[in-house]
Each structure stands twice: as C-alpha cells, then as structure tokens.
Structure 1
Amino acid sequence: MAAYDPFSDTDTDADAGTGWRVSGSGMRMGPSSTRWPRYVSFLPTAMIVGGILWNLLSPREYWGDYLLVAAVTVAGALLSLRHTIVAAVAVVVVEAALLFAGGYLGNVTATAIELANLAFTGLIAVGVNRVVARHGRRLATVRSVAEAAQWAVLPPPPARVGPLAVAALYKAAQIEALIGGDAYAVQDTPYGTRLLIADVRGKGMGAVGVVAVLIGAFRVEADQAPDLAELARQLERALLKEGARREEEIQLEGFVTALLGEIPPDADEVRLLNCGHPAPYLLDGGSVATLEPGEPGHPLGMSGLGVPQAAPETWPLPPGSTLLLVTDGVTEARDRTGAFYEPADRLRGRGPFRQPHQVIDTLVRDVERWTGGPRDDDMAILALTRTTGGPTGR
C-alpha cells in the first residue's frame, strides 16, 4: 500500500518530507512534511496478518478478530479510500474463510451476524476516512493561504548578489505553521549588499504584521540610509510608528532583536550592527568563528530606555568563507539534557562548504539530531558565501 497524504484524496508514493524544500535560493516549508511515514501504510496489513495467525495459533477461537476489526479502523484513519475498502473486504473474506475452516458456516444466523458486524465496521472505517480527508482538504487550503502569505511577507532572497551566493531557510516549529516572527532579507544597494535577520517578540499574526512592517521598511531604507546606524534608526522609527497603533502591552514591551550587515562591492569585509541578536558565525574552511560584538546593542524598539545604540563593527570576509546568521530557534534548541545547541562547536571541522545551502542543510539536520524531536521555536537561517569564481549553481 502506498503512503497516504492526508491533504489530498489520492495516494502518493513520495516519501515523507523532511520539513523543508528547496525553492530558488532558499528553502521553505513544503506540504510534503505532512505525509505519514511510509511504514504507517503497512500497519493495517500487518494487523490483518497478525489477526489471522492469532486465530490459527491461539487455543481459544477468534481471539484474533479484535486485531481484524482494529485493522479496518486504522486503515480508515491512515490510508486512502481505496485502500480502506480493500482492507474492509479483505477482513470480511478472511473471517468467512476462518468460519468455513471451523465448520461454522452451517450456523447461518451466527455466521451472518459475524460477517455483518465486520461489514458494519468497514462502513464506519469508510466514514472515518471521509471525515479525515475532508479536514485534510480544509487544512491544505489553510496551508496554501499561509504559504502565499509567507511568500508575500518574507520573499526569498536573490540567489546571487555580486560575488556573494545566498541561501535562506525559514523552518516553523510546528508543521502546520508556515509563517511567524522570524525574518531575513538581502538587498543590493548603492552601499553594497545589505542584509537583515531579525526575531520579533511574540507569535501569531501580530508578529507576522511586525515582520511585514520591518521587511517593508528595510526594503526602502536600505537604499537610502548612509550607514548601518542610520538604517537601524529608521527601522526602529517604523516599528515604533506601528507599535503606536497597537495595544498598550505591545507599546511597552514589544521589541525586535536584529542583526544588520553591510558587505561592500569587493566583498573583502562585512560590517555588522548587532541589535540584541544572536551573534553570527564565519565559516572558513573547517574553522568556525563566532562574531561576538564588542558592545552589544539594544533591540529595535527599545530606544526609549535612553541607551545609545552600539556602533557597527567590521570583520574580514575571506574568499570562500560563509557568513552564517541565525535566530534563537537555533541557538536555544535543547537536547534531552537541556543543553543548548552551539553552532560554532557543532559545525567546526565539517567544512569546507562550497555553497551556502550546504551550510544550511548541515546545520538543520544537526539541530534536528540534537533536539531529537519537536522544537519550541521557529528558526530562520541566512547564509552568504563569498565565491571565488563565476556564477554558481546547485
């Protein structure tokens, strides 16, 4: 039996998704991540075989019937309509064969009742299957709208800007969620390549609205602000203006951690302004350096505290190196003992990476191995590699 996609009414032979898919320069959540694992499709068959063996080998008759009934119900919940009907018919035929082997077909009333009960179970399984499929289609519609909203609010960055190859990923903590409060952007400007990665306090549509304001302001101001300090001021101005229209709690407590970057046209260095965000990493060959700011800045939206914003700092960007920016969904991922994930330690020695998507692939898989299960927070990743040759491909 093929794996069943609960978002459609058809079968699919595709394997269960990994939770992201490549799209242009970046990677985003894909509906393939909602399919059942392939082994699930074999569960009803295994239960039917188990029921037959139990009936044949058990000293008491028909103890395996419970497994047969359960197999039909499980098929209705997990498999397609066609496979549910096949499972129901198979169970009725198996039961009829067992009754014949036991010499019970002469008792017409008891045989009819037994087979009718199994047929009724099959009808229930079909009903369950239709309910699951209907809700799956509704969820698929919601997901398609969410994906369209994500592409509108957080479009993928260009695959290449001058000598820089670019890749990005947004991975929601929950499979059903496609959008949230993490953001990234890369833009070619008169001052060089400017970039942003940010994490909005809070979740839900309120955070998505702030992301939209932040990305919109960055698109406009990145071309106009003469330096990163002025760019940060303009972004904060846009956020405060948006916050003035929101609830009092958001006005008093809302903030955005952000990391602003600027890479000149020759790409020999990177200027960074850290506004309370996790530090980025520089991967060069097999080495990984954490670009910790000498003076951490305050998050955007907190200028009312009267603390001046930190000054940008400059770091070398060697040919072939990759600048890796992440949100706290990466750095605050925990293993089973509660230990935080440390990208510098975990990625050291795994290079060199020729392309930024290779860094992202390695990082995401390692975070998933580290957590061993669902994460508590979304994560956004932005990677830029200073290439040494012409245009690159995957």
Structure 2
Amino acid sequence: MGGVSRTACRAAGRTVRRAARRLPALLITGGALFGLGAPANYTCAPFLSAAPLVAAPLHTLRATAAAALAAVAVAIGLVLYHRPSDTGEALAEVATIGTVSLVALGINRIARRSDQQLASARGIAEAAQRAVLPAPPSRIGGLRVAARYVAAHAGARIGGDLYAVQDTPHGVRAVVGDVRGKGLGAVEAVAVVIGAFREAAEQEPTLEGVAGRLERALQREGARRGNLDEHEGFTTAVLAELPPGQPVLRLLNRGHPPPLLLHADGRVGAADPTVPALPLGLGDLGVWADRAEEREFPAGSMLLLMTDGVTEARDAEGTFYDPRAELTGRQFKSPEALLDSLVAEVTRHSGGQAADDMALLAIRRGERIEQHVAESIDRLRGRTSCEELSGGAVDSGFRLGIHPACLLTFDNGARSSQPPQEAVHRAPSPNPAGTAPPDTPARSGNRGTTTLG
C-alpha cells in the first residue's frame, strides 16, 4: 500500500507540473479579463508581469519570449481601451511589464544553460560507468549472464556498488560488492577493486588467493589516501567461481548480503556463509583464514548476486523487501528476465524512492551448454598435437565463449578448472630416455591431471 500511495503522489506531481506549464497563458488571459472588467483605476500589471517569469524556467526561450510579448501587448491594449487620464502612470506600468519580461528572458537563458551542463555531466557520468562497470557479454564460459546497476537517485549514474564477471583458466569468476561511502572516493575504490579482481582472477588458483589480493589492494589504496578512509574504509563483497563442466559453485563471502540460488523447480535458497567474515579492507583489525564454500549448482539453476540496495528497500510502513520470499515458486526463462522483474518489484515496493544503489548480477548454468562443454572436452581426449586441437574442440570452446585453458585439463576423467601446466602451442619435444612415448599423456602427481602438450 505504501508503494502504491507513493506512486500516486508521483503521478499527482506530474499533473501539477503539466498544469504549471499552462500557468503563463492562464495569467495573461486572467489579466486581460480583469483589465477589461475592472474600473480604469485598477491595474492588472501583477498578472501580466508574473506570466513571463513563470514561463522562464518551464518553457523554451521562444515560448518565454511569446509570453513576454503577449503580456506587453495586452498591457498596451488595455491602455488604449481605457484611455486613462494619467497616461504617464499607464505607460510606467507597461514599461514595468516590459522590464520584467526582459529579466524573464535572461532567467530562461541561465536555466537552459544549467540544463545543458547537467546533461553534459550526466553523459560524463554514464561514460564513467561504462568504463568502470562495463556491461558483461550475455554468454561467458558457456553460462548465461546479465547485470544491472540502478542508481538510487535520478541523475546519479554511478556510486559505490560494483560487479564484474570474467572467464579465467580456473572457470568463470565473479564479484559483487559495495564500497563504503559515496562520491568520487567511492568511485576510486570501485576502480581499485575491479582492477585488482580482474588481475587476480586470472592468476590466483583459488578464491582465497583472489580475496587476499583484493584485501592488499584496498589496504594500499587506504594508505595512499592517508585520511579517514585509511581506518574506516571497507568493501563488502562476495566472490563466486563456477568451474566448467561441474555442477558446483564456490563462494567466498566477506560481509556481504548472501547470494540466492534459484533452482529450476522454483525453490530459492540463500547461500549464507558457514563462518562470517569481515569486509575487505579491514585486515588491520585481525588475521583470519578465508575459506571458499562449495555448493551444488545443477543445470538450469541461477545464481543471483546483489547489493544491499535490494534487501534494504523499504515501503512507506518501513517493511524491507525480501527477495527470497518474493522469488520463491517463480521461474524465469533467462537472467535478463530475472533482473528486469526484480528491479521492477523493488522500485514498486519502495515507491521509486530507493535509499541506496543496486548492483545485480545473475548467472545461469544451462543444460544444453553444459552438454556442449562436456562433448568438447571429451573430443580433446587422445589429441596431442597443436593442429588437432586448433581444428577441433578448442574451436568449439571459442564459439561457446569458453576459456581454452579450461578445455585442456581434466581430473581423472572429470572436467577440472585447473590451468594446463604446459603451453598448448609448444612444439612436441623429442622422447628422452626414460620418459613416456610422445603419444602417451603425462600425468602429474596424485591429481591425475592430464596435460596435452
């Protein structure tokens, strides 16, 4: 009910603004009628002077000039109609209306210039958002992906919320986070987190290693600023890893709202961490070991990562929006459909008056794509030459948007996300004494990792 009442208030506000745009014409018409019906010693100058002033911030320069000319013309017409005995006083009123009209034209120019500057600043903010938070492709590593960033206030296009998703040799990795604070400082921290994540996601073999790199990056940024943020700046974040060809999901949560797992049958589960952890950037308060938790993520399921702009959205009665309860029992054909529906519901729940930004990331594991991944990896078995790889399953992986390194390694017959230990394009070396023949895959350690060289 609160959301409905606020929506009604916003509709009423739009009606008032439309009526205000008609006010200059009403003032001129009312002034003319008053001047014709009232005695000659009564003046309608206040009505006529107000018309161009009201038009200045609401209309274009041409419309404001038209209102000014109409007001002056009506004033002159009334002087000729009444033919007052004190002509000097009547002409003074006409001059006053003309002067006010010139002031209104100046106000209109200033207002239009401010609008242009605001539009330019908004365009710059949108460009900054695309640079810092680029929209991910719709398919990454054989997974369907969608992302949304919704600012809390109209005109504010970027803040402290962040998301990123990347295909790596270890699988598809993603992060969603919320930087403390607002303004340029928060935007700088967002850039630091995303930059560190993209580098660490490629290089670190585990999510724990990625979290450690983000922690150190934020500590360096806090030390560089040398102000209050060095002691109170932090970022809540959740890291996710989806290995190729495996129906599992690895999560590492650092003080962030838990992700939701939407199953194909309509069930929705919250991936709460077993052991809570402090946000990133607070490593000086203590030392603890990060631990990624593994959960089932079968084909047809969707992972929803979000910031607290969703869970802290309130209606007029102060009731929080509960995404888990609202999404339970529903099915969505794509991540885009899920996010579109969620954004619309949160906006409706809060009456369009959200108190915080929202960053949303949805990832779906599809059955057909997983089958193609498995078939592509199976076709790699027994292939040892670069020519065979380039003409076979690796090309299939590229077409599916799968990192080629993820296709070149598997553990004991099951697909693995570990990167190959030898370059694919290395020329086959001669068979030295005491080693396996060239056509025999070399196995390393007890993991049974087969490397195609």
Decide: shared fold, TM above 0.5: yes
Deviations 1:210-240 (A, max 9, x none): 2111111111110111111111112112222
Q: Where do 1:182-193 residues align within 5 Å?
A: 182-193=161-172
Contact 1:341 1:367 in 2 (8 A): yes
Distance 1:104 1:270, change over 3 A: farther
Tell me what 2:65 maps to: 85
Q: 1:222 aligns with which of 195, 201, 212?
A: 201
Displacement of 1:259: 0.4
Contact 2:28 2:71 in 1 (8 A): no
Greater mean alpha carbon deviation, residues 383-392 or residues 140-149: 383-392
Distance 1:355 1:42, change over 3 A: farther
Tell me what 2:25 maps to: 48
Tell me what 2:258 maps to: 279
Q: Where do 1:25-64 residues align within 5 Å?
A: 40=17, 43-49=20-26, 52=29, 56=33
Q: Distance in 2 between matches of 1:387 and 1:45?
A: 55
Q: Distance in 2 between matches of 1:352 and 1:376?
A: 28
Q: Where do 1:209-288 residues align within 5 Å?
A: 209-266=188-245, 268-284=247-263, 286-288=266-268
Tell me what 1:143 maps to: 122
Matched to 1:43, the amino acid is: A
Deviations 1:343-373 (A, max 9, x none): 2223345x32222222222222222222225
Q: 2:187 aligns with which of 198, 208, 217?
A: 208
Structure 1: where are the runs of 5+ without partners? Answer: 1-35
Secondary structure of 1:223's counterpart equals: helix
Tell me what 2:350 maps to: 371
Displacement of 1:164: 2.0
Tell me what 1:75 maps to: 55
Tell me what 1:302 maps to: 282
Q: 1:104 aligns with which of 82, 86, 96?
A: 82
Distance 1:257 1:173, change over 3 A: same
Q: How many residues align?
A: 354
Q: Distance in 2 between matches of 1:325 and 1:41?
A: 40
Q: Is 1:314 paired with 2:294?
A: yes
Q: Distance in 1 between matches of 2:67 and 2:299?
A: 60
Deviations 1:67-112 (A, max 9, x none): 5544422221122212222232344445566677xx4256655554
Matched to 1:183, the amino acid is: L
Matched to 2:100, the amino acid is: T
Q: Is 1:354 paired with 2:333?
A: yes
Percent identical pairs in the alignment equals 45
Distance 1:361 1:104, change over 3 A: farther
Deviations 1:300-344 (A, max 9, x none): 122333352442222333444332211112222222222322222
Contact 1:47 1:67 in 2 (8 A): no
Greater mean alpha carbon deviation, residues 186-195 or residues 251-260: 251-260
Greater mean alpha carbon deviation, residues 39-48 or residues 308-317: 39-48
When Rg is computed on C-alpha atoms for both structures, the one with the higher figure is: 2
Q: Distance in 1 between matches of 2:203 and 2:167?
A: 12
Matched to 1:260, the amino acid is: L
Matched to 1:339, the amino acid is: T
Q: 1:386 aligns with which of 365, 368, 371?
A: 365
Secondary structure of 1:244's counterpart equals: helix
Matched to 1:116, the amino acid is: A
Tell me what 2:378 maps to: none
Tell me what 2:425 maps to: none
Distance 1:77 1:241, change over 3 A: same
Q: Distance in 2 between matches of 1:271 and 1:308?
A: 19
Matched to 1:219, the amino acid is: R
Contact 1:187 1:194 in 2 (8 A): yes
Q: 1:330 aligns with which of 305, 310, 314?
A: 310
Deviations 1:263-285 (A, max 9, x none): 12236332111111011122345
Q: Distance in 2 between matches of 1:51 and 1:189?
A: 68
TM-score normalised per structure 2: 0.69
Tell me what 1:9 maps to: none
Tell me what 1:21 maps to: none
Matched to 1:231, the amino acid is: V
Displacement of 1:167: 1.9
Q: Is 1:293 paired with 2:273?
A: yes
Distance 1:93 1:112, change over 3 A: same
Matched to 1:52, the amino acid is: T
Tell me what 1:25 maps to: none
Secondary structure of 1:148's counterpart equals: helix
Contact 2:30 2:47 in 1 (8 A): no
Displacement of 1:41: 5.3
- Give the superposed CA RMSD: 3.2
Displacement of 1:257: 0.7
TM-score normalised per structure 1: 0.78
